[in-house]
Amino acid sequence: MTDPVFALEPDVPRNVRLARWLLFRLLSGLREGSLTVREGAQTFHFGDPAAALRAEARVCTPEVYWRLLTGGSLAAAEAWMDGDWESHQLTALLQILARNGEVLGRLERGFRLLGKPVARLRHWTRRNTRAQARENIAAHYDLGNEFYAHFLDDDLLYSSALFTDDQQDLTQAQRAKMARLCDQLALTPGDHLLEIGTGWGALAEYAARHYGCRVTTTTLSREQHRWATERMARAGLQDRVEVLLCDYRDLRGEYDKLVSVEMIEAVGQRYLPAFFRTCQARLRPGGRMALQAITIQDQRYRDYSKSVDFIQRYIFPGGFLPSITAMSELMTRHTDFVVRNLFDMGPDYARTLAHWRQRFTTPGRILKSSALMSASAGCGSTTSATAKPDLTPAPSAWCSSPRSGYDTPGAAPADGPRVRCLLDAGGDAARARSADLADAGPLRLAAAAGGQPSAALLLAAAGCGLDACWALAGLIDFRGDSLLPLWMVALWLMFAVVWTD
């Protein structure tokens, strides 16, 4: 293979040549799968040429190499959305990256020194204060109900389904999920159920209709609030279901049961203790809580909590994935909840995402709003591309815990846990096998639970040394906006020293 640092045209900037050389050296360490990179008439092969798992990527502009080198996984996703590179085997490509995560993770870790403070500062401005939480929710959920109806099931559930057999369609699997949640809560007609995170009202309607209980459900999304309110009226359940437009921290009163499905990811790390304290405060003694959550692998939690990834930047502003251990420790420290059970539904999330992606890209399913389509298609394909990489069970779990009154061993009924947590420990945002993508390096697209920074600006950790970093500072084009002033590099260097692990 021709040395790639000299293979480009002579007029290609030197920093681009260097970036490609470094990236290709990294890719030469691939051990599983076969990756082909095409650049014009040139073809480069990496990995095992005899491997059954194969993928191909085409570089559309040489500058993408510098963008990937200095921006890491987030820059890779942005470059893909911008058309700087493309692949028609995105799922296979992600599988290869996931299976070689240790090798590719070196670059991601090495180049995050200066990008880390920048990304964290941006993410900090989106922290979930009461005012900012409304903006964060609106940024994601108020895109328009038409958009979500385009790819969700008939009942509009935006969370993992539960597939109990191979013949189920998405709607049936979502209803199986709701049935299991309600059964684990042991709902009765005399119960008053609190739901934190309404969605479009599917679970509230299901619980009231099939179990006869009263439901109070709360959301911060005006679009969801309007839809869910109208939904209950159409179903004739307006007397049994109350839909609130309210922050969970402002809820009052006590309830018999509590359920929250994939809302905890919107809480934010700083506010997780308040979330669990609120849950306990809203439950009567002996009450039950069911929690379905997307989680990150425990081993990745520390790095993830200090970083910002693609999902946090583009999909869920203010979002944060807890880990199983982190939630257990928080419940132990701040409440008297006790974890009872764990349930693995990682493979179900992979199948759910596969359904969403198929429905989103089906030609016959027309999304009328061209603005929404153009804004969402790139991000949607990127985040859902990891739906099909691997249906191997992720380290997912569901757990349940009692509140006070059931803290004696054996006191909880065998058929019903007290607090149910469906935890996809593999991660989400891409939400299936995303823990495997955590270290997948500069070409990791969805970065769903990898927790890598949004921009890694300089070459310090790649052996160039600090002098080389300063020499290159004047060349760096930060996210394509403007040349990076030297004083800004110095400022970020100071922040990097403070925030470096």
How many Å from the N-terminal Cα to the C-terminal Cα in the chain?
Answer: 38
Name the 3-class secondary structure at 180: helix
DSSP category for residue 485: P
- Give the end of a domain, one of 435, 467, 488: 435
Among 449, 238, 214, smallest CA distance to 346 is for 449
Between 425 and 95, the more confident residue is 95
- On whether both 259 and 315 belong to a single domain, the answer is yes
Q: Does residue 93 share a domain with residue 65?
A: yes
Is 444 inside any structural domain?
no
Say if 425 falls within a structural domain: yes
Domain identity same for 298 and 181: yes
**Kind of pairing, strands 419-424 and 397-399?**
antiparallel
In a domain, 448, yes or no: no
Among candidate residues 381, 405, 435, the one where a domain is terminated: 435
Please check whether residues 191 and 105 belong to one and the same domain.
Answer: no
Please check the confidence at residue 387 and state whether its pLDDT lies above 60: no
The predicted pLDDT at position 429 comes to 33
Q: What is the total count of domains within the chain?
A: 2
H-type helices in 297-430, by residue range? 301-305, 310, 324-334, 346-361, 370-384
The residue type of 397 is A
Considering the entire predicted model, what is its pTM? 0.67
What digits encode the pLDDT tens for the residues 392-440?
333 223 333 333 333 332 333 333 322 333 332 233 333 333 333 233 3
CA nearest neighbour of 423 among 316, 329, 256, 298? 298
pLDDT of residue 234: 98
Domain boundary among 384, 403, 435: 435
Verify that 204 and 305 share a domain, yes or no: yes
> Which carries the bigger pLDDT value, residue 425 or residue 312?
312
The confidence band for 136, taking pLDDT boundaries of 50, 70 and 90, is low
| Beta carbons of 123 and 308 less than 8 angstroms apart | yes
Residue 154's domain is classified under what CATH number? 3.40.50.150
Q: What is the mean pLDDT of the chain?
A: 71
Structural domain includes residue 441: no
Say whether both 114 and 53 belong to one domain.
yes
Instruction: Please give the pLDDT value at position 232.
Output: 98
pLDDT number for residue 214: 98
78 with 172, same domain: the answer is no
Give the model's pLDDT for residue 147: 78
Report the alpha-carbon distance of residue 326 to residue 295 in Å, rounded: 10
Whether residue 446 lies inside any domain: the answer is no
Query: Is 389 inside any structural domain?
Result: yes
Percentage of residues in the chain having pLDDT higher than 70? 61
Q: Which domain holds residue 198?
A: 130-435
User: For residues 378-410, b (16+ Cβ closer than 10 Å) or e, as one string?
Assistant: bbbbbbbbbbbbbbeebbbbbbbbbbeebeeee
Residue-wise burial string across 358-376, b where 16 or more C-beta atoms lie within 10 A, e elsewhere: eebeeeeeebeeeeeeeeb
CA 134 distance to own-chain centroid: 19
Q: What is the pLDDT of residues 185-203, one digit of tens each?
A: 999 999 999 999 999 999 9
Asked if residue 198 lies in contact with residue 228, where contact means CB atoms within 8 angstroms, the answer is yes
Whether 24 maps to a domain, the answer reads yes
Q: Which residue has the higher pLDDT, 258 or 108?
A: 258
**Whether residue 27 has pLDDT greater than 50:** yes
SS3 45: strand
307 and 282 assigned to the same domain = yes
Residue 185 resides in a domain: yes
User: Can you say whether the dihedral through the CA atoms of 293, 298, 304, 310 is positive or negative?
Assistant: negative
- Whether the Cβ atoms of residue 431 and residue 309 lie closer than 8 Å to each other: no
Average pLDDT over residues 21-36: 92
| 111/237 same-domain check | no
Identify whether residues 331 and 479 lie together within a single domain: no
List CB contacts of 234: < 8 A, sequence separation 6 or more: none
Q: What is the pLDDT of residue 330?
A: 94
Q: Are residues 89 and 145 in the same domain?
A: no
Which are the contacts of 41, defined by CB distance < 8 A and separation ≥ 6? Answer: none
- Are 282 and 255 in contact by the 8 Å Cβ rule? The answer is yes
- What's the pLDDT band for 132 if we cut at 50, 70, 90? low
Residues 58 and 207 in one domain: no
